[in-house]
Chain A
């Protein structure tokens, strides 16, 4: 059984959703990891959940990045451990330098809470290998999801196939019309060069329970499960 470690920062508010999704919906084991701890309790996968860590003060994720647990998470990631940052968790991964780039305020300046379609650009990753279709639907809920990086970084992301999800139409058309927040290249999720760290603005954990009317989020966790089992874990 896979054990998820879900980090809890002051201001995290999707930690319980993530716990529910991976245990009740996906049948895995999970523990909460308070941000002041340093041990990861033998977790196989670390989730940095959504929320408003440290009130989003200064820049989203900028203070959480220096929480004691983050040193352990960074070590874990550098040794190839699987880490997934969702929404605020993605912002923390960017601030920690585990993924390149930054998040700016949404172009509209509005907090956006909506279902969006995502073109799965790379279905050959730890996090996407069990996604059965080229487009999935997931909810977003953020004010700072406007991804920015310099041209050189963007080029590297493209060349290394690191862009995993892009905002699209239901048919997978990627254009400005379907870009909710101004994100460069419609980027909604990306992985590191090594492929073991994923950051994504949409919330897969909010789309795992059939009662919610959409279970596309479970594909992400099923992919992780498939990867770990294939790897002999």
Chain B
């Protein structure tokens, strides 16, 4: 079994009003060195297979078909082998 994490980010050219709003808060807190705050999604899940090729293929398909929308988002993923419970 493998544990996977997928990070979904808005494309750099896509406006991120949430990130902007959060950065307003940072400014209010006095963080004057912080800029370009962008908000994305962190998703983790298990893949029930010990075949590393199957695992990677499923993670990519899951990320491309459902977890991200390629028109506005990019994704990155990592995975590691974990012991079955």
Contact = CB atoms under 8 A, between A and B. Distances in A.
Interface of A: 58-59, 62-63, 66, 95, 101-102, 104-109, 148-150, 182
A115 B74 CA distance: 35
Contacts, number: 31
Determine the interface band of chain B, counting residues with CB < 8 A from chain A.
Answer: 10 to 19
B74 to A, nearest CB: 14
30 contacts: A58-B41, A58-B66, A58-B67, A59-B69, A62-B66, A62-B69, A63-B66, A66-B66, A95-B69, A101-B71, A102-B69, A102-B72, A104-B14, A104-B15, A104-B72, A105-B17, A105-B18, A106-B17, A107-B15, A107-B17, A108-B17, A109-B17, A109-B18, A109-B21, A148-B14, A148-B71, A148-B72, A149-B71, A150-B71, A182-B15
Interface SS majority for chain B: mixed
A136 to B, nearest CB: 28
A89 B14 CA distance: 23
A182 B17 CA distance: 11
Interface in B28-77: 41, 66-67, 69, 71-72
Contacts of A104: 14-15, 72
